[in-house]
Amino acid sequence: MDDQSVLKTTPLHALHVSLGAKMVPFAGYDMPVQYPLGVMKEHLHTRNEAGLFDVSHMGQVIVKAKSGLYADAALALEKLVPVDILALKEGRQRYGFFTDENGGILDDLMITNRGDHLLVVVNAACKDQDVAHMKANLSGCDVTLLEDRALIALQGPRAEAVLAELWAGVSAMKFMDVVEVPLHDVPCIISRSGYSGEDGFEISVPEAHAVEVANALLEHPDCEAIGLGARDSLRLEAGLCLYGNDIDTTTSPIEASLEWALQKARKAGGDREGGFPGADRILGELASGTTRRRVGLKPEGKAPVRSHAKLYADAEGKTELGEVTSGTFGPTIEGPVAMGYLPVSHTAAGTTVYAEVRGKYLAMTVATLPFITPTYKR
Amino acid sequence: MLKFTAEHEWLKLEGDVATVGITSHAAEQLGDLVFVELPEVGAELTKDGNAATVESVKAASDVYSPLDGEVTEVNQAIVDDPSLVNSDPQAAGWFFKLKLKNVADIDSLMDEAAYKDLIG
């Protein structure tokens, strides 16, 4: 049996193929890495106009308390994530992560208050494990992976105008708002969020209508289909982590510079301080710091510095400091961009470190993230 | 004389010096190039050894030396503007010139018809 035959497909698979996408295996799915436009133009089109991404491989999960009360579901999930979910208002979304007993990150996720339940969106590669983790640990809750919904991301400065063709009310939404509205008479759940650093939306669509909604959006002259290649360069310029590259069980949220995702209620002195896996380490690091941190890295030359390139304090490769976790060419920056972990002695913006690439030591400057200025509609 | 390799390089022989580049098919497969690293002039290359590196947004790829020889000239224009390799791979987007150790070795490479059969 070849690998191709065991790959899963999303409801938009035939559409990708008909648009001429180059398909690659990603997290067990046959996914479009690029379309005939190419990664460079797809990236720039998203920054300048609007891009449509199929992210149906991601896991959409409903968490509902058997009591039917939002607070019960929120308090149950708070046992697994260091985020304030109880205070999250209805129709609002926030970023979080599942932590483990060592304070490492099991996955990162988006969490929405949907009134009487939570909608959680998790990474494709982790979804089976995340669902099992929630089923085992969310007492008094039903955890349901939605297998019959597609997820379409629409990103870029023209995203609002593109979506407005299907639903005029979109302009009232703010960053991280979530609403349920019909698009083409299809009930969709729309969040104003994304993974590109641009304003945009993620639209959960019943699978039977996914192609119809995607085509309706693609009909707009400003909207192009965008593959996973550009999705990666967009998120990297935006300074956003990719689970499995930049964060995993060996990195704590504080090492990963994600402390902004922890609200007051879950920190020392808060109403619901701690109470999540690894709280001792994570709250300890918030108080006393870590030995290493995730930083942006800007190669001084033109060569991209990719993930796993070793970082050194000197141009001779004598003192190893850490490793690049993501690196590519940033089409908007018109140069290479990267992220990686460095000891706190070397994390000040402007510090020069050296990456080993094909036997050479290339200078990189520690940079403030993001590399671009996000255009979220706050 | 124009020859091709299974590694998707073309060679154009003039005297004992071959101009080497990557084929249109290879350039298309690689996608938009953003970085090119060429060998030093004077470098002695061996057949199938690393000669150059190209990078697209997504990944780095090696370009191998099609035959044994010495690099006599490199195309700085593609270092300055890697997109030239995508727009004109089999002319202005050439990589380097190789003074062949044994000119007769070029006979072992594919002609254009054989290469076209290979890529289908």
SS3 B110: strand
Last residue in a domain, options A95, A113, A145: A145
Alpha carbon of B46 to those of A193, B11, B100, B106: distances in Å?
Answer: 52, 15, 10, 13
Residue A245 lies in a domain: no
Last residue in a domain, options A77, A111, A145: A145
pLDDT in tens, A243-285: 999 999 999 999 999 999 999 999 999 999 999 999 999 999 9
User: Is B35 in the A-facing interface, judged by CB distances under 8 Å?
Assistant: yes
Query: Could you give the CA distance from residue B34 to residue B86 in angstroms, rounded to a whole number?
Result: 10
Residue A252 lies in a domain: no
Provide the pLDDT for residue A1: 41
User: Which residue in chain B has the smallest CA separation from A328?
Assistant: B57
Q: In chain A, which residues have their Cβ closer than 8 Å to the Cβ of B32?
A: 38-41
Q: In chain B, which residues have their Cβ closer than 8 Å to the Cβ of A234?
A: none
Residue A329 lies in a domain: yes
* Counts for chain A of helices (H) and strands (E), in that order: 8, 19
Residue A4 has pLDDT above 80, yes or no: no
Q: In chain B, which residues have their Cβ closer than 8 Å to the Cβ of A309?
A: none
Q: Which of A357, A179, A323 is nearest to A251 (CA)?
A: A323
Residue A212 sits in the same domain as residue A67: no
Residue A165 sits in the same domain as residue A218: yes
Residue A140 sits in the same domain as residue A165: no
Residue A264 sits in the same domain as residue A362: yes
Residue A154 lies in a domain: yes
Identify the CATH number of the domain in which residue A290 sits. Answer: 2.40.30.110
User: Is B48 in the A-facing interface, judged by CB distances under 8 Å?
Assistant: no
Residue B120 has pLDDT above 90, yes or no: no
Identify the CATH number of the domain in which residue A118 sits. Answer: 3.30.70.1400
- Give the pLDDT mean for B29-54: 96
Give which of A39, A233, A334 to mutate to test B binding, by max B Cβ within 10 Å. A39
Residue A251 lies in a domain: no
Q: In chain A, which residues have their Cβ closer than 8 Å to the Cβ of B40?
A: none
Residue A182 sits in the same domain as residue A47: yes
Residue A193 sits in the same domain as residue A312: no
pLDDT in tens, A78-108: 999 999 999 999 999 999 999 999 999 999 9
* Residue A88 near residue A118, CB atoms below 8 Å: no
User: Is B81 in the A-facing interface, judged by CB distances under 8 Å?
Assistant: no
Residue A193 sits in the same domain as residue A275: no
Quote the number of domains for chain A: 3
Residue A19 sits in the same domain as residue A152: yes
Helices of type H across chain A:
13-18, 39-48, 70-78, 127-137, 159-164, 210-218, 228-237, 279-288
Residue A79 sits in the same domain as residue A128: yes
Identify the CATH number of the domain in which residue A157 sits. Answer: 3.30.1360.120
Residue A374 lies in a domain: no
- The complex scores an ipTM of 0.88
Residue A376 lies in a domain: no
* Domain region containing A336: 259-367
Residue A372 lies in a domain: no
CA angle A208, A213, A219 (to 5 degrees): 145
Q: Which domains does chain B have, with CATH numbers?
A: 2-114 (2.40.50.100)
Average confidence score pLDDT of chain B: 96
